Structures are given as C-alpha cells and as structure tokens.
Amino acid sequence: MRILLGWVFIPALALACGGHGTADTMLVSTSWLAAHLKDANLVVLAVGERADYDAAHIPGSQYVEYKEVAPKGANGLSAELPSMATLAAVFSKLGVGNDSRVVIYRIKDNALTQSARVYVTLDAMGLGANASLLDGNLSTWTGEGHPTTAEAASPKPGKLEPCAQNDVITDLAFVRDNRHQKGVRILDARSPEYYSGATPRPGYKPGHIEGAGNVFYNSAFTETGKLKPASELRAQFSTAGVKAGDKVVTYCFIGQQASALYFISRYLGYDTRMYDGSWEEWTKDPTLPIAVSQ
C-alpha cells in the first residue's frame, strides 16, 4: 500500500513505534517465555558476561554487548544514550525490528541494572510498548525446568526505524529546576548509605541531590531476583515522598541503577524520566546543591 502525501508517494509504514509498556507487558514469567519461545516475532536478549552466555543461555537468545548500548559519552560521562542511528544498527543486527516482541533477561543477578538499561534504551527508541524484562534471571529459568544451550543462533537483521521518545531521558536543567516543584519527585536509586553520604563511593562526592528522595532499586526485588508485589513497591515510593499523579525522575551514579528504578516506576504507572547524567554530572558543577544526611 502507498500513501499520497503532498503529491509525493511514500511507502506506508506498517511498523509499530512509540508509547510505553504497562504492568501487563513490562514483566514476563519464565512460563510465558517458554510458551512463546518459538514465536516468529520474538527476540530474546541476554545481558551479562560473554563467557557466561557462551557457557549456557536461553535457546535462541542473542547476546547484547552492553558497551554498545551505554558507551562513554562525548561529554565524558561514563554511560550515555547513543544516537538513534547508532542504536538502530546495534539492535537490528540482533534481530530487533519495529514489529518484534522483545524480552530481556539477565544471565546473572549482577546484570540486573544493565538489563534494565537495555529496557530504558528500547523505551527511548519507541519500542517500550513491545519490550519486557524476564522476572528473574537465567537461574530462575533453569530452576523452573526450562532448557539452555551453548549454541549461538544467527539472527536475521531486523527492519528497525526508531522514533525517539522525549519522555524517557531528561537532563540536568530539568532536575535542577524541578527539585522542589509540586508534582515532580526526584528519586535516588542508590543504596541508603550512598544516598546519605555515610559511605562515600571512591571517586564520587558523598551525599545526594538536594531535595531528592531515596528508593534503593535492589530493595524492589526478592532474594530470588523476582520483582516484589506492586503494593509493596508503591509503599516504598510513598515513603520516599511520591504522590499519586507525580512525575518521577530517577538518578544514580551514572544512569544504570537509575534504569532499574525507572523500570519499576513505569511498571507502577508513574510518568517517569531517567536523568542520564546522574550524580556523575551533577557533582561536576560546584554550584549545584548537594545534601548529606548522615
């Protein structure tokens, strides 16, 4: 089919792009994935160490080179969102297209924040409505009786045209100007010790962005690596000062732990942004306010 627009014929795009996922789509169980593993449009992405992937992975899954998704930015910051053109090349070679259903899983639990960063990246590209995280990791998958393989599948490149979303990533100026704005809540995703400044991380100033609350991303998951019930997560957000209808902005050290909290916040239905520059960028400017609450 072709569309006539301004006397110029252009191909009609029957590809989906734009919007965000919901609680019904953002998280899938191992049983769901096992039942859909052979779906023609399913792309499964593995995040973690290459050696672990080579040893055993979910059949058909593709390995994500994380440094291609969150490389050092031209601004010198540790992990920044690349251009849409760069990301299209990265994900299309993994088989991702606009019509793909994408499931991201972590090979081990220490890749939780990286897998969430991959989700945020897809969301920023306009693919969030068709992307999910696996509830758990590879051990969850095998522990529930599902198979693995060491064989790497060769994907067919996907037909991918991102449509950049302007409501996923935010910047320093927005955080600076909205720290105390009614209806906006800035959340620090780091551990309470880092947030308070009681335990400074080497190479970083202690404390947090003045005015920000704290929800430690890792407190949202059970000991088995699965997401806690939404009621418990909402209680954590409420304790951190988030009110119904608030716009939430997450940050951490470099934008990785903040990605996990972004996922959780979107999962709970909050209009959410992730401050990509995070603490690393904020503390480069000595005029910006820092709070220490030891």
Q: What is the pLDDT of residue 223?
A: 87
Lowest mean pLDDT among 15-19, 82-86, 243-247, 251-255: 15-19
Helix or strand run (H / E) with residue 230 = helix 230-239
Q: Which residues contact 198 (CB under 8 A, 6 or more apart)?
A: 192, 206, 294
- Compute the distance between CA of residue 126 and CA of residue 13 in angstroms, rounded to an integer: 15
Backbone angles phi, psi at 46, to 5 degrees: -100, 135
> DSSP letter string over 233-268?
HHHHHHHTT--TT-EEEEE-SSSSHHHHHHHHHHHT
Cα Rg of the chain, angstroms: 19
Give the pairing of strands 131-137 and 169-170. unpaired
Q: Is the pLDDT of residue 163 over 60?
A: yes
Q: What is the pLDDT of residue 294?
A: 63
> DSSP letter string over 167-224?
SSEE-HHHHHHHTT-TTEEEEE-S-HHHHHTSSPPTTS-SSEETT-EE--GGGGB-TT
Lowest mean pLDDT among 7-21, 200-214, 229-243: 7-21
- Best CA proximity match to 232, nearest among 244, 241, 221: 221
Instruction: Label residue 7 by pLDDT band (50, 70, 90).
Output: very low
The mean per-residue pLDDT over the stretch 79-106 comes to: 97
pLDDT digits (tens, 9 = 90+) for 116-148: 999 999 999 999 999 999 999 999 999 999 999
Structural domains in the chain plus CATH codes: 14-143 (3.40.250.10), 169-291 (3.40.250.10)
**Alpha helix (H) residue ranges in 37-135:** 50-55, 66-69, 84-92, 112-124
Give the pairing of strands 213-214 and 184-188. parallel
CA distances from 142 to 129, 201, 255 (A): 27, 35, 30
Q: Is the pLDDT of residue 1 over 70?
A: no
pLDDT digits (tens, 9 = 90+) for 164-201: 999 999 999 999 999 999 999 999 999 999 999 999 99
Q: What is the pLDDT of residue 3?
A: 29
- Compute the distance between CA of residue 265 and CA of residue 262 in angstroms, rounded to an integer: 5
- Best CA proximity match to 119, nearest among 257, 26, 37, 186: 26
The mean per-residue pLDDT over the stretch 96-113 comes to: 96
